[in-house]
Structure 1
């Protein structure tokens, strides 16, 4: 009898373990994933069912290792896993992954003749017949699979063919998933000639044994109720709170180097934060007033996760009020800032608003909603980590090989411990007439040597496309409340919030973003990262206090000084044209050109192209002394230049800058009176050599000052 019992024991254990797995593991389906998408509580607990989140993309395959030349290669398009021939059609494979898993976000954009008109196919569980087939844009942002905002293109203010197309509708698969694109316009990897196909596909892979109901037309129809409910919630951005809450006021004036605090006790969670600031300099207050949240302070020992972030950056508006409405944040026109991140704690929590600036800041409206939370082993603390790369030098002019101009990686955040990464935003000020965000994200999970997420451009990561500046303010997961600094000097804010595409990690997480500005520039660049974490070290143990204190940039001259340079004897020596204040051009295009070929000072010049006869350009600079100085001006000779009337204050000179070879020419302007304060330059096109366009190009390098008049 005993012998029979021992023979049955292993069988009983297997049965018990299988029963435990069936009870503990939920069935994953379109329904369950749609419900999970709008469950903010779910993000605050480590996933019950283990999965990883990774990405397939069209990144340049020359990107292999930081030690090898192609690490910053930028032909991030029409790069595929392989090509398959199916009868008379050629299909380019974009994704090929074993299950169990699910596609959780799918982004694409296109360029070239007849672009985006190919056929997208998604094959499920090794079936030779695609479960989804149709025009790429019909699937990703049309109504073939879902409605807006689960399938949409952004920005709605951008021309349709230049939008980013985003599908958030989940596509689960039990065994396998393959995604292909068919187009006769594709000719080469990297699309140096043919159709440019850009794609990012975020997907989950669950642990073996997870039960998944694969996508099919039948399952999609069965999920209609859940789909409608999720679409309505996300479209209306109906951010209801799932539990009863207590509302606590936090208002008052905060003196410089002082703070306003409120504490909570018990096992609870912050469910909503609403704040409105008032100050003489509101922009500076939004940056220099810091939101700090700490958890479970027991005998002066706090949890190793916290929130430390300037108020404006935390709510997704940066340091200027811009209207925005997402699933997690909202900023109203009148400046009320709100966030719905769930922030649980086991024993206590303290929320503080600290004034690091030199002015009084008033919290004119402030309310914290706190509700119940059952703390358990899966519960995690909410964290936010912010820093500014102040006056960041972006390198020189680049090309798609990534070998020129010295692009580099900057670290958004590095985390240690167990957690889930749930989003980020970046606030920046660009100072030149060129796109700042060609760089790709590189995300390393649990010690990976090569990133499991590597992208195709910063704007692609944030859901839009082609550097476009148009606003995105009503999408649940992506936002660009201001893109005015995308092509020209100015201010830009981008945000991406995650739901099904949140990234779990068990030991470590590292997010790098390539700083791949097309040209030489000095910019301010401030990312903030959001995550849930049970870690061993708080990333905010050494917060960027100086960055939060620093003066914000409202105009280009807040970063690039338009003042004349001086020697040790306070004698004016020079001013570079790219440091001057551009005022206006009656025609043509103004920019700051960057090249290492021509000998320009700091490799830059002020450039005015496509100018016609009679067009005028004006800009200026500042001197802190009044003097009459011997002055030389350095210009660029070109074969497409012409004759110009150049006026510096009251000094007028006729310039002939046409020549066969591109080179510098120094022209003696004689003695010129400099004003204390503003000095003005006016350039007028007076002669245009015959050409196809009947336009000219004007290049101005710098002014050089010599001796004073005796």
Structure 2
């Protein structure tokens, strides 16, 4: 069974401040960006429709080979093919290597490594030692709060930990290994070496932002928030994580002749909150997903703001590749055999389809939040040489105050 990939929305534009959904722009004086709100931001899809405030920066601290440099004076790249990407650090301080040195306020959204061992990696937040663990235990699932399966797992042979680590003034990450030992690095467990390769994806917020600094011992409310987010990002993948008020659903079957288009128009100051396509069972799907296209026009515009082959829009470039993520995915209907259903062992061993079951075989979903001022026109075009039939299901609701 394939790994269920999680798309985490690592952007401070996702974050709201206090219970009234005030923008992070206002989290500067009396309001504090709490750790619970930071956790909620990992699945708050509507906030992606808000541009980040001035002064916000998202960046990456990694172990890339420091021999690769850009020379601004000569406008040239030096040793761009250097490939010792497992041992690059910010600097050395005595027996310690500094892996990251970030000035806050900010949040580390993602911690990653390709090889982990038992050497300790220490995280200082606002000048205090907060995390003091073997590198492997950032990803082992044994140590709270790094023990939620929606945040900590292995994917594509990489160890990932999406548990947010917030700080008000600074974040400094170090490990005990000298420059000399790094240069003659050998990867063996039991000798106190941390491992190979690291990423720390982080966001730094505008000056004046007040943010709650992360601690290893979470409050009951923070644990509850982290448990909820983990469930959304694991067991509940495929479901829309946001509950919208006054939602309306349009469910239409489109029979589209070769070389023609069919459309659905929505009116009002609203937002598309869910867009799904269902297609019938057939022998081959690759041509269908490339020869049918999806376009979306906002507010009477002449050219579409969205255009893509049907498969590409939903994240598959060639044929059907089943996956689930926070905002997009695809899978089979009617409990048919798929990577998400272990009851059947092959396509030839499908369960009986009952009359009450959905006649379609596959469903594609998108939960991107797409607001519009006056209207939205969704167009499905069939560029194949024969008639095609699909089902279009669209949820829309009044625009949410962000």
* TM-score with structure 1 setting the length: 0.44
User: Which residue pairs with 1:488 in the alignment?
Assistant: none
Render the CA deviation track for 1:506-547: whole Å, top value 9, x for unaligned. Answer: xxxxxxxxxxxxxxxxxxxxxxxxxxxxxxxxxxxxxxxxxx
Render the CA deviation track for 1:343-388: whole Å, top value 9, x for unaligned. Answer: 111111111112233343321x22111111057xx7xxxxxxxxxx
SS at match of 1:217: coil
Q: Equivalents in 1 of 2:82, 2:121: separation in Å?
A: 26
Q: Equivalents in 2 of 1:117, 1:136: separation in Å?
A: 6
User: Which residue pairs with 1:58 in the alignment?
Assistant: 63
Render the CA deviation track for 1:596-617: whole Å, top value 9, x for unaligned. Answer: xxxxxxxxxxxxxxxxxxxxxx
User: Which residue pairs with 1:78 in the alignment?
Assistant: 87
User: Which residue pairs with 2:159 in the alignment?
Assistant: 165
User: Which residue pairs with 2:392 in the alignment?
Assistant: 366
Q: Does 1:182 align with 2:176?
A: yes
User: Which residue pairs with 2:260 in the alignment?
Assistant: 258
User: Which residue pairs with 1:270 in the alignment?
Assistant: 272
Shift of 1:76: 1.4
Q: Does 1:294 align with 2:293?
A: no
Residue in structure 1 matching 2:110, options 102, 105, 109: 105
Greater CA radius of gyration, 1 or 2? 1
If asked which structure has higher relative contact order (CA below 8 Å, sep 6+), I would say 2
Shift of 1:288: 2.0
Render the CA deviation track for 1:22-41: whole Å, top value 9, x for unaligned. Answer: 68874223211011112111
User: Which residue pairs with 2:383 in the alignment?
Assistant: 356
SS at match of 1:37: coil
Shift of 1:21: 5.1
Q: Equivalents in 2 of 1:318, 1:71: separation in Å?
A: 30
Q: Check whether the contact 1:277–1:286 (CA below 8 A) recurs between aligned residues.
A: no
User: Which residue pairs with 1:120 in the alignment?
Assistant: 121
User: Which residue pairs with 2:317 in the alignment?
Assistant: 318
Structure 2 gap ranges (5+) = 1-24, 333-360
Structure 1 gap ranges (5+) = 1-19, 379-710
Render the CA deviation track for 1:555-576: whole Å, top value 9, x for unaligned. Answer: xxxxxxxxxxxxxxxxxxxxxx
Q: Equivalents in 2 of 1:43, 1:186: separation in Å?
A: 45
Q: Does 1:31 align with 2:33?
A: no
User: Which residue pairs with 2:133 in the alignment?
Assistant: 134
Q: Equivalents in 2 of 1:313, 1:190: separation in Å?
A: 45
Q: Equivalents in 2 of 1:270, 1:104: separation in Å?
A: 27
Shift of 1:229: 1.6
Residue in structure 1 matching 2:286, options 280, 283, 288: 283
Q: Equivalents in 1 of 2:184, 2:150: separation in Å?
A: 29
Render the CA deviation track for 1:53-100: whole Å, top value 9, x for unaligned. Answer: 111111122222372242243221111111223xxxx33211101111
Q: Equivalents in 1 of 2:57, 2:130: separation in Å?
A: 24
* TM-score with structure 2 setting the length: 0.75
Residue in structure 2 matching 1:93, options 86, 95, 98: 98
Aligned length: 336
Where do residues 588-627 of structure 1 align in structure 2 (5 Å cutoff)? Answer: none
Q: Check whether the contact 1:101–1:172 (CA below 8 A) recurs between aligned residues.
A: yes
SS at match of 2:233: helix
Shift of 1:255: 2.8
TM-aligned CA distance change 1:168 to 1:22, over 3 Å: closer
